[in-house]
Amino acid sequence: MTGVRAAVTLFTVLPLRGPERLDRATAGRAMLAAPAVGFGLGFVSALVVLGTRVMTKTPGERPQTLLPAVVGLALIAALTRGLHLDGLADVADGFGVRGGRERRLAVMRESTIGAFGAITLLFVVLLQASALSVAITAHRGTVSILVAVMTSRLAATWSCVEGIPAARPDGLGALVAGTVRRRHALLATGGVLVVAALAGRFDFHGGDNGRAVRAVVAAAVGLAAAVVVRRWLARRLGGITGDTLGATIEITVMVTLLTMAMTIPTPVLRLLDLD
């Protein structure tokens, strides 16, 4: 429970009293509990997406899809203080300048957002909202945002597994880098995939085996993208930072939502017997 409380205080703005002292052991438990926090955030956002869609439906017209998508993503940003979006912008600014590792890290520590950060934020958020809107049109919006937010926090867990160093001797990255055991991350991954399958199978809009498979595939693709991004950033920076964690989370949300929004070709559906 100490790890859960620490995870809530690290990943949300909820006024939950965290541990008095956040050492590396507690930080490791918090990062391991991150997917559970993601499930809670995703569940609340899914309810808001559903409620917004119902309340904005005009008689005789098709229900709104873009507005509920934007409201759901805005709620996630509000509940997390926009920290992960800020991290994404800082990483984009750092890699947008000329120079080596030290120059990138110095730019990432600046509090202002430059042109590279603003452009990256714009397109990532647009892709997230557009993908979620398409998923809502296909009647799988609630499961999509739930799986995307939960998987993105699992990506943060995998960014902190043993053997991954911190890029700086201070900051959040130094506190959490290498604090999660690989076998524990694997167990967390299994739990996320099971929840994703159940969410797809029992989705409010008519869950079935096909949606369960889609949810699991989307979570796997999002996590794979997160691993690639984390390795690339760690190689260029010499390790992880709090900003790279935020960037990995937002990119994972984007990739997972895009996967959920994609249309599976009819021959594949027949082969898998998912139609």
Residues 6 or more apart in contact with residue 54 via CB below 8 angstroms:
63
Query: In the prediction, which pLDDT does 119 show?
Result: 95
Residue type (1 letter), 101 = R
> Tokens in use for 94?
């750092």
Residue 186 pLDDT level (bands cut at 50, 70, 90): very high
∠ at Cα 241 (106, 161), nearest 5°? 155
| Helix residue ranges, H only, 97-161 | 101-109, 115-137, 141-158
Please tell me the distance from the alpha carbon of residue 134 to that of residue 97, in angstroms, as a whole number.
35
> Tokens in use for 24?
């590396």
For the chain, the average pLDDT equals 88
Residue type (1 letter), 112 = T
Contact 173, 166 (CB under 8 A): yes
pLDDT in tens, 202-234: 877 667 788 889 999 999 999 999 999 999 999
Q: Is 66 left (phi over 0), alpha (psi -120 to 50) or beta?
A: alpha
Residue 60's domain comprises 2-272
pLDDT in tens, 103-142: 888 888 888 888 999 999 999 999 999 999 999 998 889 9
Query: In the prediction, which pLDDT does 39 show?
Result: 95
Please tell me the distance from the alpha carbon of residue 68 to that of residue 48, in angstroms, as a whole number.
8
Q: Would you give the end-to-end CA distance of the chain in angstroms?
A: 42
Please tell me the distance from the alpha carbon of residue 60 to that of residue 44, in angstroms, as a whole number.
28
Nearest to 249 by CA among 226, 216, 219, 215: 226
Please tell me the distance from the alpha carbon of residue 105 to that of residue 241, in angstroms, as a whole number.
9
Residues 6 or more apart in contact with residue 58 via CB below 8 angstroms:
none
Residues in a beta bridge with 166: 240
3-state secondary structure of 19: coil
Residue 75 has pLDDT above 90, yes or no: yes
Residue 27 has pLDDT above 50, yes or no: yes
- Range in 15-19, 102-106, 237-241 the model is least confident about: 15-19
Phi, psi values for residue 164, rounded to 5°: -95, 120
Task: Give the number of domains in the chain.
Answer: 1
How many CB atoms are closer than 10 A to CB 118?
A: 13
Residue 150 pLDDT level (bands cut at 50, 70, 90): very high
Please tell me the distance from the alpha carbon of residue 92 to that of residue 243, in angstroms, as a whole number.
10
- Range in 20-29, 78-87, 99-108, 210-219 the model is least confident about: 20-29
